[in-house]
Structure 1
Amino acid sequence: MTAAASSGRHCSVLITGGAGFVGVNLAAHLLANGERVRVLDSLVRAGSERNIEWLRRSHPQQVDFVEADVRSPQAVAAAMNGIEHVVHLAAQVAVTSSLVDPAFDFDVNAFGTMNVLEAARRATHAPSLIFTSTNKVYGGLDDLRVRSEGRRYMPTGPRVRSHGIDESRSLDFHSPYGCSKGAAEQYVLDYSRSFGLRTAVFRMSCIYGPHQHGNEDQGWVAHMLRAALAGEPITIYGDGKQVRDVLFVDDLVNALSRARRDIDRLSGRAFNIGGGPANTVSLLELIEQLEQLLARRVELSFASWRVGDQRYYVSDTSRFQTATGWLPRTTVAEGVEALYEWLTSSELHPAQRRPAAMRVQELGASG
């Protein structure tokens, strides 16, 4: 459906980048609760066509799909017609790609966000807006002192060790990707100050879950699991001890829903969103989990550290928790198992699947 054709159909929520894995999970949640959703997506990312096909099969009467690019002001303005709330997910999402083509990265992330903001500002009834930024706005965290503890790095300072990185951390945009997302989020916040739009920013950590078609540049949990299932070698950049807090997509969808509900109170603020200290994993620890899940070894190779790769990043999400009551509910083990189940049911040849009896036995043993 074209942007022009969509303008005559009432939808309450616009999701830019809605055929991506976060967008399609959010859309499915909203549609299941009886809302009408408009999805704007250019379908350039691998897997996005499969995601939107699944969504349209599941909710054929409720989803309004607009194939367009956020770099088109006309397409974005048309898609904004009649919208009450925007979740702006459309982005160039990989640090490595931003280093190859910084101009394209800026065009999508910064200019595309400006198009969304301007369309919202000029709308007859300005919608509220949530923008998904990144922890990369805090830079490489080179001043954060860490030490090696077994198969992971841990901070030496007790405050960060127990709570993670909070929003008082100075911004230090690192890599073209960090710059473009950082610039975009600052515009989102300023449009609240300067123009009165109801906007909020999520500085997100590592999100994972079903419908994620990850690669080694972005979506690393899904990439590693998919490669392990296929028996392909996995490349670790650095030593594998780098730690991230991971957040299952259902918990992110819940956070986005709460932010929409409370947008009048949250407007003009940025929030760190991730799994927090209770849901952390190093790359080596994730490999160990995958080996236990598959009951076999995973082939690894190691390469040099990549630009902007933090030794340790864990979100302190207490600001958002205090404001909304939100807490992640899905453990790392539960989330990885759910992602495994989706991958094996939707993508893999039956010969690659783990026998159901083995899964039941392992789940029983872990309980």
Structure 2
Amino acid sequence: MARFAITGGTGFLGSALALELRALGHEVIFATRGRHPMYDTQRWVEYDLQDAATVANIIEARPDGIFHLAWSTTPGSAENDPSADAKTNLGGLLAVFQQIAKTMPVPLVFVSSGGTVYGKARRLPIPEDHPLDPLSIYGVTKVAAEQYAANFRKLQGLDVRVARLSNPFGASQSPAKLQGAASIFARQVVMGEPVTIWGDGSVVRDYIDVGDAARALIAIMTAPPLPMDRVPTYNVGSGDGASLNELLRMIGVAADTEPNVSYVKGRSFDIPANVLDIARLKADTGWKPRYSVQEALDRMVATLKRQLK
């Protein structure tokens, strides 16, 4: 059994990751701004992206590895305040890198964005060696974070590993952040609410069950180390693309109902298509998704029906 710290561990992905780690017999340390009522003090330490001093709390917990999920913005909010996006997220990340590298250089998995760092796809599915040309502020900041990761790995020997995550979804994803089309649309369809799509619905994305995404992060964490002049970088997705219109059709099938859809003007930072090539992760770790997108949507809709009706 190993001990792993998760920054942002009480969020959607962090909670799923904690469940998967515990199922494997590992101990989980939640590193967040406030202690969630369901976690006792033996499994929680205070950590705040905006307070570098709180990194010491993670160090004192002596984890065998760290998953850095904490991030203060969504693609939409980053566009509204680029300065805060960079200051909070990059500043917080660098504090973690610096202090961990100096005191306890354990493996650290940084969750980047497979949906924004590549920009407009020059080929599909997108491999990890595709040029990084983000259109959004969110993507720019994630690319900068990856570059810092490469620097710390090469010059300070910090075993940083990068997971370029696509679009995880699941019934526990909160609609409050307005992030996660699959989860938001499914909730709206189950509740009989209208669904609004930016653009004409032709935008293609790679969607993945959040449990499968969590298992991928664990596979990256536990993979054998690589030479320090190389950053282990992996796409994490289903490897299959679906347009927003196709996604809604699949949700409608799962819910056995016809979605009520309306369309509004598209957003400038939404790229036309993004589907990730996951062959490298499969080859290096043996990981693969347990569920197809339709199977995962079926499971999510069934859960939402139990919860909401």
TM-score for the superposition, normalised by structure 1: 0.77
Of residues 79, 83, 87, the one that matches 2:67 is: 87
Q: Deviations over 1:124-182 (max 9, x none)?
A: x32110001012111234xx4xxxxxxxxxxxxxxx45xx0112211113222111111
Of residues 62, 65, 73, the one that matches 2:44 is: 65
Of residues 23, 34, 37, the one that matches 1:32 is: 23
1:328 deviates by 1.5
**Equivalent residue for 2:81?**
101
Unpaired runs of 5+ in structure 1? 1-10, 44-48, 145-159, 353-367
1:219 deviates by 1.3
Classify 1:221/1:93 alpha carbon distance in 2 versus 1 (closer, same or farther; 3 Å). farther
Unpaired runs of 5+ in structure 2? none
- Cα distance in 2 for partners of 1:236, 1:215 equals 17
Q: Is the 8 A contact 2:30 2:44 kept in 1?
A: yes
- State how many pairs are aligned: 304
1:216 deviates by 7.5
| Secondary structure in structure 2 of the residue aligned to 1:240 | coil
**Equivalent residue for 1:157?**
none
Classify 1:215/1:332 alpha carbon distance in 2 versus 1 (closer, same or farther; 3 Å). farther
| Secondary structure in structure 2 of the residue aligned to 1:132 | strand
1:67 deviates by 4.3
Q: Is the 8 A contact 1:165 1:316 kept in 2?
A: yes
Classify 1:216/1:283 alpha carbon distance in 2 versus 1 (closer, same or farther; 3 Å). farther
1:17 aligns to 2:8 (yes or no): yes
> Residue type of the partner of 2:211?
D
CA RMSD of aligned residues (A): 2.2
Q: Deviations over 1:262-298 (max 9, x none)?
A: 1413862221111103xx2211111112222223222
**Equivalent residue for 1:115?**
95
1:199 deviates by 1.2
**Equivalent residue for 2:126?**
165
1:93 deviates by 4.1
TM-score for the superposition, normalised by structure 2: 0.91
Classify 1:210/1:80 alpha carbon distance in 2 versus 1 (closer, same or farther; 3 Å). farther
Q: How does 1:1-367 map to 2 (within 5 A)?
A: 12-42=3-33, 52-53=36-37, 56=39, 64-81=43-60, 82-123=62-103, 125-135=104-114, 136-141=116-121, 144=122, 160-161=123-124, 164-214=125-175, 217-265=178-226, 268-277=231-240, 280-346=241-307, 348=308, 352=309
Classify 1:215/1:242 alpha carbon distance in 2 versus 1 (closer, same or farther; 3 Å). farther
- Cα distance in 2 for partners of 1:321, 1:190 equals 26
> Residue type of the partner of 2:218?
S
For the pair shown, which has the larger CA radius of gyration, 1 or 2? 1
**Equivalent residue for 1:3?**
none
Segments of 4+ moved more than 6 angstroms? none
Q: Deviations over 1:301-322 (max 9, x none)?
A: 2112213212111001112222
- Cα distance in 2 for partners of 1:97, 1:247 equals 23
- Cα distance in 2 for partners of 1:86, 1:210 equals 26
- Cα distance in 2 for partners of 1:202, 1:224 equals 25
Q: Percent identity?
A: 31
Q: Is the 8 A contact 2:169 2:183 kept in 1?
A: yes
> Residue type of the partner of 1:342?
T
